[in-house]
Amino acid sequence: MFGPEPEGATPLSAEDRRALLADWVATRDDLNLAEQANIAAGRTTVMRGRPLRLDQVLDDTFVRRLHRRMFDQVWAWAGAYRTIELNIGVDPWQVPGAVRDLVADARFWLAPDVGWIAPDVALCKVHHRLVQIHPFVNGNGRHARTFTDVLTRSVGRPLFSWGAGTDLQEVSPDRAAYLAALKRADAHPDDLDDLVAFARS
């Protein structure tokens, strides 16, 4: 059955396990496989073809739709904002407003005529804030990285490598560096150098 969770992972409750659509999932490895397949399919759908316009991506409906595409074969609640407390993130009742505020702020941060914030910093600012909000029961880091990738394409920037393609779900030096960069941004929201450096590593 499910063993200990890696640092920073959201633990699975008995209720979470009842929400699994993939009834063959019995272990954390099974869950990882199911989610990886779903995420790959969802990511392919959203990343193929022409980049989406900035106004299409910076919309709270798109935030939810992307999560649903990434997890709809695994979780019954895919794409629905969480209504429960977690060990990270804003209070559940704050999630919808926090996401709306984030996409509104991001429109300003990424506006082509602003110029006071470098594009990579703006993109990592969006990523950090989305992780900080933690809008969903699970999959928030993977969703936030994919959302940032979609956004990055929309503004014509090269995609981030997020630690040179390492699986950030697994315990590794890259996962530790990623979590450390997020924690530094939590403590110093105006200093995203570590997160930008990791995203481009």
* Active-site amino acid positions: 134
Q: Show the tokens assigned to 39.
A: 């995420």
Q: What is the DSSP string of 147-182?
A: HHHHHHHHTTPPPP-TTTT--TTS-SHHHHHHHHHH
Closest to 59 in 3D by CA, of 95, 106, 91: 106
Q: Contact, 145 vs 51, CB < 8 A?
A: no
**Bridge partners of residue 20, in order along the sequence:** 75
